[in-house]
């Protein structure tokens, strides 16, 4: 039986991050509802339990409580934040109700490293977020670490393998937090660190097969990392019962549609329906200049086209989406099932609500880097796994002002040259996004002996971690020169190329 670390979810916004840290240690974990019977955990082969934090106070009438039998399973337990207070309360210690939440950085001093802090420094910066506080230890426990405000910041019952931590080891703001978690998993629970991305894929495939049964699944493929990995994973699980729909909105990059068809239809043998709706999109965008109106028209038309294409696919029961964990907005209600109440903001134009299809989101626990690892393990090429972000409205927000087929042609050609040069020089992989922008400005140029008025193309290349802030990339002059001369020579109708050297803020990454 597989070794499982059970994470009991008491509603913390960090529960999924605990699971992620466990995966980082190559150990398998599963998130369970806080009230899961101890017997279920035993029968599934749980070798250790982590009690997550949570927004409740143990003094609240509605405080979520675990099955107390979990403490008699003979497996180690680590209580984090709300989890340590639960242990204090349920195992006979005392907890004081705090009037104020202690929130932010603190310094942890370790008096006795024990197994949990083995190999770690004696002082660590930690992240607190708690109201109540343990004031008397339960029998069998001793305090091994203190913070400025708490003599019982880390507690241990070495014999039973019970540990409590007042702060959050799972968050980035806590120094060496992942080492603390690894010490619990390996040093205390005896977990073997043999859980890999392939194992993750096998589990997901099992999960997808169980939830889908014999039904059909439909997925809107955009060519981006998330929907591509979701498609490959679901296809591995149910083969031709997955249908992917790729909508050509006429605002794609050069060769994009062909690349998607070649990869999914020819290589992966996925049932892919390409819907060419470019004429409809361009008709509706005619004379529209305002960026937000463009976005609305593109979004609405996409939903319409996608819905229409569904009728041709036949009776699908599931709509698959490549929602990732960071897309998931937490709105956890403790009384119900926390997982069921988490909402997604990633549902393409509100599709699921309208279509009465069940959602299938096989990536919703994963972070971007993990999705890339899954994609690579599934055999997706580097161009897909490490593809730069591309906005839903596509070139529609990169032709400034009115969109016409001629402007799109110019932009597409110029953009293809930028991509080509970025790839050839290896810069494509180093930056966040690189693209061309079409400026509706006529500028003077000279062709042969004649003056002409032609279009302007801007080069936009930025570095960023999360698109919230961005800095313009310092590309080598030679590379910029190469892009510029190729664009003016090879793209009919461009007389001038400019470089965008604005950072975000105050500028945004896209021009519209
Ligand atoms: P900005 O331009 O706001 O962009 O700095 C931040 C990130 O979001 C992308 N972006 C969009 N993505 N629909 C999308 O799916 C949109 O309307 C949209 N607008 C901007 C942009 O490419 C960058 O990665």
Domains of the chain: 4-188 (3.40.50.880), 197-385 (3.40.50.620), 398-499 (3.30.300.10)
Active-site pick, 102, 130, 156, 170: 170
Distance of CA 165 to the CA centre of its chain: 27
Task: Write the pLDDT tens digit of every residue in 175-231.
Answer: 999 999 999 999 999 999 999 999 999 999 999 999 999 999 999 999 899 999 999
pLDDT for 340 equals 38
Tokens of 453: 């008025």
pTM for this one?
0.85
Query: What pLDDT, on a 0 to 100 scale, did the predictor assign at position 447?
Result: 79
Band (pLDDT 50/70/90 cuts) for residue 232 is very high
392: Cβ below 6 Å to ligand 1?
yes
Given 25, 81, 189, 244, which residue is catalytic? Answer: 81
The pLDDT value recorded for residue 1 is 67
Three-state secondary-structure class, residue 306: helix
**102 pairs with which residues across the strands?**
130
Say what the pLDDT of residue 352 is: 55
Report CA(464)–ligand 1 centroid distance (Å): 13
- Rounded Cα gap, residues 103 and 426, in angstroms: 44
The neighbour count for residue 456, using CB atoms within 10 Å, is 19
Rounded Cα–Cα distance for residues 466 and 327 (Å)? 12
Between residues 247 and 267, the one the model is more confident about: 247
Q: Which residue's alpha carbon is nearest to atom 12 within ligand 1? A: 391
Pocket test for ligand 1, best of 368, 509, 511, 512 (most atoms within 8 A of CB): 509
- The token duo for 461 is 């290349």
DSSP for 432-445 reads SEEEEEEEEEEEEE
Which pLDDT band, with edges at 50, 70 and 90, does 337 fall under?
very low
Q: What is the mean pLDDT of residues 318-346?
A: 56
Please determine, for residue 498, whether its predicted confidence score (pLDDT) is greater than 80. Answer: yes
Query: For residue 353, what pLDDT is reported?
Result: 63
DSSP 162-203: EEEESS-TTSTTSTTHHHHHHIIIIIIT---S---HHHHHHH
What residues form DSSP beta bridges with 243? 218, 271
Residue 354 CA to residue 294 CA, distance in Å, equals: 22
- How many whole angstroms separate alpha carbon 431 and alpha carbon 459? 13
Provide the pLDDT confidence category of residue 91 given band limits of 50, 70 and 90: very high
> Does residue 509 line the site of ligand 1, with CB under 6 A?
yes
Residue 329 has pLDDT above 90, yes or no: no
User: Which residues neighbour 117 within 8 Å (Cβ) at sequence distance 6 or greater?
Assistant: 110, 144, 145, 154, 180, 183
Q: Return d(Cα 404, Cα 391) in angstroms, integer.
A: 19
User: What's the CA-to-centroid distance between 508 and ligand 1, angstroms?
Assistant: 9
Give the distance from CA 190 to its chain's centroid.
30
Read off the pLDDT band of 354 (50, 70, 90).
Answer: low
Could you tell me if residue 52 is left (phi over 0), alpha (psi between -120 and 50 degrees) or otherwise beta?
beta
- Residue 336 is predicted with a pLDDT of 39
> Is residue 362's pLDDT more than 70?
yes
CA–CA distance from 392 to each of 249, 286, 510 (Å)? 10, 18, 12
pLDDT of residue 248: 97
Has residue 314 got a pLDDT over 80? no
| The pLDDT value given to residue 328 | 65
- Residue 174, both tokens: 């806590």
pLDDT at residue number 348: 46
Nearest CA to 503 out of 469, 478, 480 is that of 469
Q: Does the annotation mark 168 as catalytic?
A: yes
Q: How many residues does the chain have?
A: 512
Query: Closest Cα to residue 94, out of 104, 86, 106?
Result: 86
Q: What is the pLDDT, as a whole number, of residue 490?
A: 97
At residue 497, does pLDDT exceed 70?
A: yes
189 an active-site residue? no
pLDDT digits (tens, 9 = 90+) for 23-37: 999 999 999 999 999
Section 487-496 average pLDDT: 96
What is the atom index within ligand 1 of the atom nearest the CA of 507? 5
Query: CA-to-CA distance for 487 and 73, rounded, in angstroms?
Result: 69
Q: How far apart are CA 364 and CA 386, in angstroms?
A: 19
Closest of 317, 392, 324, 329 to residue 361, by C-alpha = 324
Identify the band that residue 351 occupies on the pLDDT scale cut at 50, 70 and 90.
low
Lowest mean pLDDT among 444-448, 473-477, 493-497: 444-448
Q: What CA–CA distances, in Å, run from 87 to 110, 131, 145, 369?
A: 20, 15, 16, 34
Q: Which residue has the higher pLDDT, 307 or 67?
A: 67
Q: How many angstroms is it from 354 CA to the middle of ligand 1? A: 25
Q: Tell me the CA distances in angstroms from 14 to 20, 51, 55, 241, one per residue in order.
A: 10, 11, 11, 35
Region of residue 365 (left: phi > 0; alpha: psi -120 to 50; beta: else): alpha
Beta carbon of 387 within 6 Å of any ligand 1 atom? no
Say which range, 49-63, 309-323, 365-379, has the weakest mean pLDDT: 309-323
Query: What's the 103 CA to ligand 1 centre distance in angstroms?
Result: 33
Average pLDDT over residues 457-486: 96
The answer on pLDDT for 349 being more than 70 is: no
Cα dihedral 224/225/230/235 (nearest 10):
80
**Probe residue for ligand 1, chosen from 224, 225, 389, 433 as the CB with the greatest number of ligand atoms within 8 Å:** 389
Return the ligand 1 atom nearest residue 508 CA: 5
pLDDT of residue 458: 98
Backbone angles phi, psi at 361, to 5 degrees: -130, 80
pLDDT for the residue 489: 95
Q: In this model, does residue 491 exceed pLDDT 80?
A: yes
**pLDDT interval class at 339 (50, 70, 90):** very low
498's tokens: 């400019």
Most confident of 32-41, 53-62, 302-311, 438-447: 32-41
């Amino acid at each position: 039986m597989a070794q499982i670390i059970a994470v009991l979810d008491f509603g913390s916004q960090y529960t999924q991050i605990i699971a992620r840290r466990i995966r980082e240690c190559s150990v398998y974990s599963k998130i369970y509802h806080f009230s899961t019977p101890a017997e279920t955990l035993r029968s599934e082969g749980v070798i250790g339990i982590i009690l997550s934090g949570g927004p409740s106070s143990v003094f609240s009438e509605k405080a979520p409580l675990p099955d107390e039998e979990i403490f008699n399973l003979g497996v180690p337990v680590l209580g984090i934040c709300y989890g340590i207070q639960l242990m204090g309360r349920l195992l006979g210690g005392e907890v004081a109700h705090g009037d104020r939440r202690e929130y932010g950085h603190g310094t942890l001093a370790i008096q006795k490293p024990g197994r949990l802090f083995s190999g770690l420094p004696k002082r660590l910066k930690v992240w607190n977020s708690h109201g109540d506080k343990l004031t008397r230890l339960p029998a069998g426990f001793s305090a091994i670490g203190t913070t400025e405000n708490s003599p019982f910041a880390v507690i241990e019952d070495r014999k039973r393998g019970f540990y409590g931590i007042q702060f959050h080891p799972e968050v980035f703001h806590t120094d060496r937090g992942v080492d603390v978690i690894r010490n619990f998993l390996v040093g205390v629970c005896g977990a073997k660190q043999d859980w890999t991305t392939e194992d993750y894929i096998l589990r997901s495939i099992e999960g997808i097969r169980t939830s889908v049964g014999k039904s059909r699944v439909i997925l809107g493929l955009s060519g981006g990392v998330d929907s591509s990995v979701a498609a490959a994973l679901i296809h591995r699980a149910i083969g031709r019962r997955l249908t992917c729909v790729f909508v050509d909105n006429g605002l794609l990059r050069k060769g994009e549609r062909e690349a998607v068809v070649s990869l999914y239809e020819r290589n992966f043998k996925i049932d892919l329906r390409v819907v060419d709706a470019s004429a409809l999109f361009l008709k509706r965008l005619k004379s529209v200049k305002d960026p937000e109106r463009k976005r609305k028209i593109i979004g609405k038309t996409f939903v319409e086209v996608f819905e229409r294409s569904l009728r041709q696919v036949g009776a699908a029961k599931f709509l698959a989406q490549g929602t990732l964990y960071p897309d998931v907005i937490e709105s956890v209600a403790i009384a119900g099932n926390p997982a069921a109440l988490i909402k997604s903001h990633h549902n393409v134009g509100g599709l699921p609500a309208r279509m009465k299809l069940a959602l299938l989101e096989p990536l919703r626990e994963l972070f971007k880097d993990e999705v890339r690892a899954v994609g690579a393990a599934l055999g997706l090429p580097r161009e897909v796994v490490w593809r730069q972000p591309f906005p839903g409205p596509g070139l529609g927000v990169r032709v400034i002002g009115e969109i016409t087929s001629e402007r799109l042609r110019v932009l597409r050609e110029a953009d293809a040259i930028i991509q080509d040069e970025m790839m050839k020089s290896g810069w494509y992989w180093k930056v966040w996004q690189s693209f061309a922008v079409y400026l509706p400005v006529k500028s003077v140029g000279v062709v042969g002996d004649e003056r002409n008025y032609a279009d302007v193309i801007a080069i936009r290349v930025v570095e960023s971690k999360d698109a919230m802030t961005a800095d313009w990339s310092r590309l080598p002059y030679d590379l910029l020169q190469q892009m510029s001369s190729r664009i003016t020579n090879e793209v009919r109708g461009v007389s001038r190329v400019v470089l965008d050297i604005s950072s975000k803020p105050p500028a945004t990454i896209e021009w519209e």
